[in-house]
């Protein structure tokens, strides 16, 4: 656990971002920091997580890194304890930690591979929401944004486990939004299309090797003619956590350059 341990300030808002050592999570964490929030960075990647905290502090905000495997209940509980012990509250959470698993047809996916993808994406989101909601109820409310995928809205060949897990994230989002709507907690998910991240680069390499396609074809499948940027996902997270989105809850929002509109 590293980062700022300044005196608590009840006027400041506090956000948790899981998977914040990577591209989208880091962009989200920095957006929260730029908005004036204290940010708790959770990741299994200690080097990446600490680098994100350094960037948060570089923009004048307070950051805290907590190494967290989101599929482990004890580690998620420790994340929330560290958040409250350091900053005193929790207002926002972005559950972004994810794992794509094997790129293979269903018959070539082992049960252990399937279980690991579900553990990080679906179980991890469930465990984080469970802990975050419990704390937000003590505060009197909050906002949660889960990072799903267009694979959680559509079938995605060669990504059966990932697609199943992201469909589960969207289902958890809708159900929890209904359960806590009257208690001051809004819960939404974002379903990104192709975003400029290492995960997309892995998929592009697989496609190129298997069918001779190029990275340009990944952009071409999006009607806007390009892939998205992590900061565009981050901007959407901040909007959904803002008062401007006060009447939005239970949404599974595509941010995909019209990919799912086809």
Residues across the chain: 262
Please check whether residue 1 is in contact with residue 66, taking contact to mean a CB–CB distance below 8 angstroms: yes
Choosing from 92, 162, 180, 259, the catalytic residue is: 162
Among this protein's residues, is 162 annotated catalytic? yes
Alpha helix (H) ranges present in 44-149?
A: 46-58, 73-87, 111-118, 124-139
Q: Which residue from 133, 233, 147, 139 is spatially nearest to 177, judged by alpha carbons?
A: 133
CB atoms within 10 A of CB 183: 12
Site of tokens 């209940």:
73
Paired tokens of 15: 């956000």
SS3 label, residue 88: coil
Question: Rounded to the nearest 5°, which phi and psi values hold at 142?
Answer: 170, -175
Please check whether residue 227 is in contact with residue 201, taking contact to mean a CB–CB distance below 8 angstroms: no
Q: List residues with catalytic annotation.
A: 162
């Amino acid at each position: 656990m590293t980062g700022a341990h300044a005196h608590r300030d009840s006027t400041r808002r506090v956000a948790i971002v899981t998977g914040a050592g990577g591209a989208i999570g880091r962009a989200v964490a920095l957006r929260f920091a730029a908005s004036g929030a204290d940010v708790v960075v959770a990741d299994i990647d200690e080097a990446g997580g600490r680098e994100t905290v350094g960037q948060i502090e570089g923009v004048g905000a307070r950051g805290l890194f907590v190494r967290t495997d989101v599929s482990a209940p004890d580690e998620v509980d420790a994340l929330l304890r560290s958040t409250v012990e350091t900053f005193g509250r929790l207002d926002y959470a972005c559950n972004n930690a994810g794992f794509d698993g094997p790129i293979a047809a269903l018959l070539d996916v082992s049960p252990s591979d399937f279980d690991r993808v579900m553990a990080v994406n679906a179980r991890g989101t469930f465990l984080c929401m469970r802990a975050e909601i419990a704390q937000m109820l003590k505060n009197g409310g909050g906002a949660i944004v889960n990072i799903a995928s267009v694979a959680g809205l559509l079938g995605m060949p060669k990504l059966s486990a990932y697609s199943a897990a992201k469909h589960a994230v969207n289902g958890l989002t809708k159900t929890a939004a209904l359960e806590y709507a009257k208690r001051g907690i809004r819960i939404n998910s974002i379903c990104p299309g192709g975003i400029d991240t290492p995960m997309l680069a892995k998929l592009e390499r697989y496609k190129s090797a298997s069918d001779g396609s190029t990275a340009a074809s990944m952009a071409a499948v999006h009607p806007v003619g390009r892939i998205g940027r992590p900061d565009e996902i981050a901007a959407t997270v901040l909007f959904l956590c803002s008062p401007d989105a006060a009447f939005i809850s239970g949404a599974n929002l595509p941010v995909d350059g019209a990919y799912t509109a086809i």
